[in-house]
Structure 1
Amino acid sequence: MPLSPVPQRTAVTIDDIAKAAGVHPGTVSRALRGVSGKVSPDKRAEIERIAAELGYQPNAVAASLRTKQTNIAAIVVPDLGNPLFGPIVQGVEKALRLHDLLCLVVQTPTDPAERRDLVLALANRQVSGLLILAAESDDPMLEVARQRRLPTVLVNRGSGDRHFSSVVSDDREGVRLALEHLVALGHRSIAHIAGPSASSTGRARKTAFVELARSVGVKPSPVVEAEAFTRSAGQAATEQLLKARTRPTAIFAANDLIALGALDVLRRHGLAVPGDISLVGHNDMPLVDLIDPPLTTVRVAVDQMSLQAAGLFIDHLQHPQLAPSTRVLMPTLVVRSSTRAVSQPSAGP
């Protein structure tokens, strides 16, 4: 014998509450929205009690049509495969959830027109604002955010135009920590594999390396730009680096994925890390302590970055006229086994 279909439960509506309370639906709406001076305290309490007993849940879609807000924050990530971004997104999402904000995570397209269309689509869907981990120079995403007046916070990136608040790591300090560590180990020929120049972090770390290298007496060594902050781009850049006439004794990579690509190529060429070349990364992304050798790297304060970014975002939602600000977090150096002192040539007889 076939089973009888299970009746579908319909959502409780304002009309249902109004019927049970013996009032007009408009009165229920005003009471549940907390409109002051329109409903007596006793009647408001009665309506709220009936709504709770019936299991009423506000319609978020209808509310967004009234307020032009969805209580959804869009987190824009350049590469969902990059292990650095997972902890940042997790921290931001946890902090925003405490303020009844849901997070929508999207990956940034590479094509400029698609980047623009992405933010337009988010704006047309009435997201409350953006947290962007992927801003580039003259990024069309930022142009749309300005035009639509979307509350926007840049995370681990800076736009340079002061239109948006940002939370960044002190890239110059990170480079200084890496260079001072290598110089203390006796390295004077240090190469840099820079991030893409379109990225604020790529530019900042490259500029800091060139300036600080001179100040600590490091010999001019190749500075090669990787096309992306990826392992494969690190491989290509390292192949180019090894074509230089003089081989460096150490390499400072603009991020850990580039450093992993460098490690691949150095092994392929029969060069040991750190025996032949010391290697330093940047970010201290998850699991770099488990590779062979464990990677010496500059640690970004990810937990603080997430909390500060979420706090700034809430500030801009609550105070639309708030002036943009930049918060700079101090990095630290984590020394592991991928760096060691320069081997001294043996003395003659």
Structure 2
Amino acid sequence: MNDQHPRVVTRADVARLAGVSTAVVSYVVNDGPRPVAADTAARVREAIEMLGYRPNASARALKLGTTGVLGLVVPDSSNPFYAELALEVERSATRRGLALLVASSNSDLELESRLIQDLASRQVDGLLVSAISGPPRITAGASRIPVPLTYLDAQLPVEGVSTVSSDGEAGARMLVQHLLRVHGHSTVALLMGTASTGWVDGRELGWQRTLREHGAPDAPLERAPFSRKGGYEGGLRLLRGRGRPAAVFASSDLQAIGLLRAAHELGIAVPGELAVVAYDGTEESEYCWPPLTCARQRIADIAEAAVNAVLDGRAPTHRVFDVDLLIRRSCGCTGEEPGELRTRRARPRDRIGPPPT
């Protein structure tokens, strides 16, 4: 039995088999800096394939001053929204020849901070963070990160750092207005996620302001984690309480799905006795029953903008994307074939400076 590790194939091995210098092998592998004749390049690639040569990524990174890797930190990688976001960031990175490292903070502030520092110490080419902490904490830590940094889901601008976000307030307004105007509800309860932020979430602001503008009476507000379990437990509290609401806006798809289970267990028909709408618009929102009317975040556009921001080296910007209103069955709309929906679209936009108050 041979306990020896197999010998690593080197650039010199490829050069000998192809009958060229090691420099020529390097030019072919790195696509430059000097041109190589087509037949010579083909011979080098054939030798690489025959020998199974793999360039030393660490050595190449040291020479070029880049690692070819981006880092992404999210609060919960099991959440479908963050899973879809990570997939779109990976696709955007891949189109640029970059790899992606994804880390989950499990909604823990201290772990989030350690992950950011750890990825930065690995000299990634850029770092994208969907932070659970508020603007004061973000601002304080941003200047100490030695790599380009972009924050996702930051509702406010952060000095010296690019940020990319969806317009949560506008999404909440569309959903609440739909329930009030189209379905005639007198008011709308809110099932709001809990997070360690330093601001009032835009979804909550949109809910508050829309009810106030329509002269609607005060409605219940229940806080629960951004999860199925959180939505289920928060839903039970909402639906068992006095003055049970006839319409609920859930601040995430996962919460809404938990809320649907709570309603089912209590024998409350959705949408017959309870209208439900949600924010996020992940794939799960389409395949639960009934399918959720929701404000859909433009995840692919957000990911592309974030990768561009972290790589372009320009002055920091605060980019806010509008959301799309997807009309499905959970709100009480009918007459659509399964899988069909009506969409109200708005154009994405850039905002520089703080959002309007």
Question: What's 2:218 paired with?
Answer: 220
In the alignment, the residues of structure 1 paired with residue 319 and residue 244 of structure 2 have an alpha-carbon distance, to the nearest angstrom, of: 38
Name which of 56, 59, 80 aligns with 1:59: 56
1:181-330 aligned at under 5 Å gives the runs 181-184=178-181, 185-199=183-197, 203-226=201-224, 228-242=225-239, 244-315=241-312, 319=313, 322-330=314-322
- What SS is found at the alignment partner of 1:166? strand
Question: What's 2:324 paired with?
Answer: 332
Question: 1:257 offset after TM fit, Å?
Answer: 0.8
Unaligned runs of 5+ in 2: 334-357
Deviations 1:12-58 (A, max 9, x none): 236975999898x899979987998xxxx799999978865653654
Amino acid at match of 2:162: S
Question: What's 2:342 paired with?
Answer: none
In the alignment, the residues of structure 1 paired with residue 94 and residue 155 of structure 2 have an alpha-carbon distance, to the nearest angstrom, of: 25
- What SS is found at the alignment partner of 2:158? coil
2:125 is aligned with 1:128: yes
Amino acid at match of 2:185: H
In the alignment, the residues of structure 2 paired with residue 118 and residue 230 of structure 1 have an alpha-carbon distance, to the nearest angstrom, of: 22
2:158 is aligned with 1:161: yes
Deviations 1:302-323 (A, max 9, x none): 22222222222221xxx2xx22
- Range 175-184 or range 146-155, more displaced: 146-155
Question: What's 2:102 paired with?
Answer: 105
In the alignment, the residues of structure 2 paired with residue 72 and residue 288 of structure 1 have an alpha-carbon distance, to the nearest angstrom, of: 32
Name which of 8, 11, 14 aligns with 1:10: 8
Question: 1:197 offset after TM fit, Å?
Answer: 4.7
Deviations 1:57-78 (A, max 9, x none): 5421112234453111012122
Deviations 1:294-339 (A, max 9, x none): 2111111122222222222221xxx2xx221122212121111111
Q: Which TM-score applies when normalising by structure 2?
A: 0.78
- Range 326-335 or range 243-252, more displaced: 243-252
Question: 1:201 offset after TM fit, Å?
Answer: 9.1
C-alpha contact (below 8 Å) 1:293/1:337 kept by paired residues? yes
- Range 186-195 or range 62-71, more displaced: 62-71
Q: CA RMSD in A?
A: 3.6
CA 1:159 to 1:108, structure 2 compared with 1: closer, same or farther past 3 Å? Answer: farther
- What SS is found at the alignment partner of 1:73? strand
C-alpha contact (below 8 Å) 1:195/1:202 kept by paired residues? no
In the alignment, the residues of structure 1 paired with residue 121 and residue 221 of structure 2 have an alpha-carbon distance, to the nearest angstrom, of: 43
2:179 is aligned with 1:177: no
Percent identical: 28
Q: Which TM-score applies when normalising by structure 1?
A: 0.79
C-alpha contact (below 8 Å) 2:75/2:105 kept by paired residues? yes
Query: How many pairs align?
Result: 328
Amino acid at match of 1:296: T
